[in-house]
């Protein structure tokens, strides 16, 4: 199992999609528009974090602009995940977790709105890495998504503490949501040699995250105090540090950010259909604006040799 980010090659161009629970509806809208105007083939690598990995998974399996298929994938956010289908305080009474990952992954992704995992890395599509937290080593790993592991990997990526069991077995290791340690690993991409990075954020770039409270850590990982302590120390640090780098990247690196102008009408666990629909629409609008700019500013992959600023 490949766990580190691959060393940058080719155009050294990467896409990073932030998570944030149901705020991922915004990145879903962005990627829907990118699919129409700036497909996944334009990147050498795509990295998804938490719920961002769910939207990115559809994007990296569409070899050509596919409006109807992309619309169907986008509709998952407000049709399939609204109400009490995905998140409900009544789920534990039925032996489920508050956030029902079996419904999300095994029913929606595997069946109802099928994720065509057989197209991963086919027909010129980029490598797809999903960030997860290793609960044994207490570190971030970037697992390569394949047709064999994608669904269990998405469960690991969305294993939010408290909302789910907070852990998922994958090839003999326990993993959790990467966001507990590093919700925005821009620096890791830079260290891997990527010179042009497109980052999709689910909150304004100037948004600042405060440290998580003591009780949050206690409830998140009551039997793993070390990971609970690291979550309280690292989550907000990397959230804020990632935004700082995106705003002011180092010399020789260009970072294009796609983010809402204001806080979204949804939060981590919002399930109101109208709010989710409004959020995907905001994302789709921002995505179209960004895609048209990217088409003008980025050279074709085979000819791209320049870099240097934040936009």
Q: Residue ranges per domain, the chain?
A: 13-297
| pLDDT, tens digit only, all 311 positions of the chain | 768 999 999 999 999 999 999 999 999 999 999 999 999 999 999 999 999 999 999 999 998 888 899 999 999 999 999 999 999 999 999 999 999 999 999 999 999 999 999 999 998 999 999 999 999 999 999 999 999 999 999 999 999 998 999 999 999 999 999 999 999 999 999 999 999 999 999 999 999 999 988 777 767 887 788 999 999 999 999 999 999 999 999 999 999 999 999 999 999 999 999 999 999 999 999 999 999 999 888 766 654 443 344 55
Is residue 240 within 8 A of residue 183, CB to CB? The reply is no
Query: Where does residue 171 rank: exposed (0-12), middle (13-18), buried (19+ CB within 10 A)?
Result: exposed
The catalytic residues are: 50, 177
Task: Read off the tokens for 290.
Answer: 């960004």
Instruction: Please give the pLDDT value at position 213.
Output: 84
CATH entry 3.40.1090.10 includes domain 13-297 = yes
Instruction: Please give the pLDDT value at position 297.
Output: 83
φ and ψ at 31, to 5 degrees?
A: -70, -30
> Other C-beta atoms within 10 Å of 268: how many?
15
Instruction: Please give the pLDDT value at position 304.
Output: 42
Instruction: Please give the pLDDT value at position 306.
Output: 39
Kindly tell me the sign of the dihedral angle through the C-alpha atoms of 108, 110, 114, 115.
positive
According to DSSP, the β-strands at 127-134 and 173-177 are antiparallel
Instruction: Please give the pLDDT value at position 311.
Output: 55
């Amino acid at each position: 199992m490949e766990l580190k980010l691959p060393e940058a090659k080719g155009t050294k161009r990467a896409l990073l999609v932030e998570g944030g629970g149901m705020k991922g509806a915004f990145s879903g809208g962005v990627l829907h528009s990118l699919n129409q105007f700036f497909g996944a083939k334009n990147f050498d690598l795509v990295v998804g974090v938490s719920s961002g990995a769910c939207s990115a998974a559809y994007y990296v399996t569409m070899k050509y602009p596919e409006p109807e298929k992309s619309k169907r994938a986008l509709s998952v956010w407000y049709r399939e995940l609204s109400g009490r289908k995905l998140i409900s305080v009544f789920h534990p009474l039925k032996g489920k977790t508050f956030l029902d990952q079996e419904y999300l992954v095994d029913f929606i992704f595997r069946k109802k709105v099928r994720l065509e995992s057989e197209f991963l890395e086919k027909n010129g599509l980029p490598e797809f890495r999903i960030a997860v937290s290793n609960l044994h080593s207490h570190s971030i790993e970037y697992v390569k998504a394949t047709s064999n592991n994608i669904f269990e990997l998405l469960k690991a990526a969305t294993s939010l503490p408290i909302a789910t069991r907070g852990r998922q077995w994958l090839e003999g290791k326990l993993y959790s949501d990467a966001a507990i340690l590093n919700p925005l690993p821009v620096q890791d991409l830079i260290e891997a040699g990527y010179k042009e990075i497109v980052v999709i954020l689910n909150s304004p770039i100037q948004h600042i995250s405060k440290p998580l409270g003591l009780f949050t850590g206690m409830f998140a990982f009551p039997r793993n105090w070390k990971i609970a302590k690291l979550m309280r120390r690292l989550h907000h640090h990397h959230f804020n540090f990632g935004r700082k780098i995106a705003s002011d990247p180092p010399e020789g690196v260009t970072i294009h950010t796609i983010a809402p102008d204001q806080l979204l009408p949804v939060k981590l666990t919002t399930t109101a259909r109208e709010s989710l629909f409004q959020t995907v629409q905001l994302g789709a609008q921002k995505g179209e604006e960004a895609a048209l700019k990217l088409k003008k500013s980025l050279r074709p992959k085979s000819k791209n040799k320049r870099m240097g600023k934040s936009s």
